[in-house]
Amino acid sequence: MTASSWWETESLAERVEEPFRSDRDFWSSLAAGADAFLTLLAAAAVSVVLAMTGAGAWALLPFVVPAGFVARSALVARGSREHRQAPFTDRRAWRDAERTAVAKAFAPVLRRPRHPFS
């Protein structure tokens, strides 16, 4: 048997309906979005410190990391949209279902354990 994915291990998938529950790309995009949010908070703090020390344009540099996470999240979400959208009657039904899934899982994904070297 293969090892469970982090969202299955943490029982996050129980909060979300199909087709999102079993979609690795949905969870990957959601995790990148959560990481973007957390790094944005850190970048803002570092940027304020840099701006106060007179670093000028260098104060924008910390925002590169959150921008990378946002780009990753968008690319993964865009790439998986077609196979997730198929079960829904129209684009609006899919959008509402995806928003519901994200709303149910975003806070727990923010609190998920991160193991960068595993």
Domain ranges of the chain: 22-110
Q: pLDDT at residue 1 above 50?
A: no
Kindly report whether the global pTM for this prediction surpasses the value 0.75: yes
For 26-70, the pLDDT digits (tens) are 989 999 999 999 999 999 999 999 999 988 888 999 999 999 999
82 and 102 in contact (C-beta within 8 Å)? Answer: no
pLDDT tens sequence across 67-108:
999 999 999 988 777 677 778 888 899 889 999 999 999 998
- The span from the CA of 36 to the CA of 76, in Å, is 14
